[in-house]
Amino acid sequence: MLQLLLVCLFDQAQQSNGIKFEEKELTWKDVKQKAKNKSKYIFIDAYTTWCGPCKYMSKNIFPQKEVGDFFNENFISIALQIDTTKNDNKIIKRWYKDAAMISDIYKISVFPTYLFLNQDGVLMHTITGASENKDDFIAKAKNAINPLTQYATLKEAFENGRRDSSFLTLLIKTARDASDDSLLHACINYYLTTQNNLLSTPNISLIAEGTSKSSDEGFDILLNHPKEVGAVIGKDRRTGILNTIAFDEEIFPLIMINGKKTVYGGGLSIYGGGEMNKSVDWDAITTTLNLKYGDLSKSILLNGKLKYYDWLEDWENFNDLLLDYKIKEADIDTNLIGNMAYKLIANCEDTQSFRNAIGWASILAADKKNPYSLKIYSKILYLAGENDMAIDFMKEYLQLTNKSDKSGEIIEKMRKGEKIE
């Protein structure tokens, strides 16, 4: 009892020493007025209830005295829940409208996001993602109140034409912290034009981060220097970047009429908005890819066709393509097989399609280095009606991982013939 009391007192002491967040009874208008009255900036902790890093910051970083001293002196702070749940109390619900408005205006799509605003609610600085320790978080927050390092000030200078390499180096870091991918890519591409050696390790890293189009400054380096690039960022990452560029430019416009790619903070991309083309000229696409991408064209075409059949929900051609790939390729990408199996599980309900998928998905059964492959294959077998084999592979997955996840429950559902997720 005494130990529990001491723990509670310690937690209360931490909270009282840390960031003092304003009571939720205030409105957004009240917060801005209080900031004006106190001549302070506004700090917004934009979080969601499902975000693990948000919870880490709230429990381990915000309560620390050094963090509280800095933030309480310089900011009016509010903790703003962006998502909605059935368990939200009346105070959280009162902020729904303002939370949605703030999320929309400041384009919040990564969590946690930390916004630093002036007294009128004008965004001056943004930080996304958790910090491992208090010193890192305080250092990043200090940039928010320093005119020489503020995101808004630096961005304005860039838009007004400042391009020297030292400035661009600072803005690259600031744009990265803010998850402003558009600004980050633009800064990196301008910075690369100031460099004499694009094959240096730091520049290859920047090229990987800032190249999203074939017209970008580092595209030719990615494409024509596989050995040097692979040594810095890895073969798979290089291939992935080039695959995405090729798909966006050479395949997507031809398989979806008037389609649109929307890029969110943190690298999340969504394709859609158009009409699927039912008569794609794959031969013409193949010729273009061969001319531009050489040896990579085969994997680019495979991924493009798989997306096409997935979006059409044409599981017959989807399965035939993967089975053909398994038969022909000596160096099979098990990550690709696993991802495609996951797509099938998530989107298909036809038992025969799963039976047809067993032929190519069986490669997952041999991937002992990644036990999760066994779990995916087990689900394919179950959905194909092979219950006993499915249970055996799920048991093997549990033995290899010794995880206390929901796999045990899945086995029970398999035994009863129930629906699994």
Q: Is the pLDDT of residue 351 over 60?
A: yes
CATH of domain 328-421: 1.25.40.10
2 pLDDT above the threshold of 50: no
CB-neighbour burial class of residue 104 (10 A; exposed 0-12, middle 13-18, buried 19+): exposed
Query: Rounded to whole angstroms, how far apart are CA atoms 171 and 210?
Result: 13
Q: Compute the average pLDDT of residues 66-76.
A: 97
Domain boundaries, the chain: 2-146, 155-233, 239-312, 328-421
Please compute the mean of the pLDDT values over residues 240-269 and round it to a whole number.
90
| Residue 258 phi, psi (nearest 5) | 60, 30
Phi, psi of 113 (to 5 degrees): -120, 135
Q: What is the mean pLDDT of the chain?
A: 91
Is 70 exceeded by the pLDDT of residue 167?
Answer: yes
Average pLDDT over residues 101-128: 93
CA–CA distance, 412 with 418 (Å, rounded to integer)? 9
pLDDT of residue 16: 67
Rounded-to-integer distance, Cα 76 and Cα 137, Å? 17
- pLDDT for 169 equals 95
Nearest C-alpha neighbor of 351 from the set 316, 385, 387: 385
CA distance 60 to 261: 37
% of residues, the chain, pLDDT over 70: 94
Whether 1 has a pLDDT exceeding 70, the answer reads no
Place 410 in a pLDDT band, splitting at 50, 70 and 90: confident
Same fold? 2-146, 328-421: no
- Give me Rg for the CA atoms of the chain: 26
Task: Summarize the confidence of residues 187-195 as an average pLDDT.
Answer: 95
Query: What are the tens digits of pLDDT across the range 354-408?
Result: 999 999 999 998 887 888 899 999 999 999 999 999 999 998 888 888 766 666 7
Q: CA–CA separation, 390 vs 378, rounded Å?
A: 4
**What pLDDT, on a 0 to 100 scale, did the predictor assign at position 363?**
93
pLDDT confidence tier of residue 102, bands split at 50, 70 and 90: very high
Q: Worst-scoring range by mean pLDDT, 39-43, 129-133, 406-410?
A: 406-410
Domain 2-146: what homologous superfamily? Glutaredoxin (3.40.30.10)
- Say what the pLDDT of residue 399 is: 84
Alpha-carbon distance of 252 to 244, in angstroms, equals 10
Q: What mean pLDDT do residues 140-160 have?
A: 95
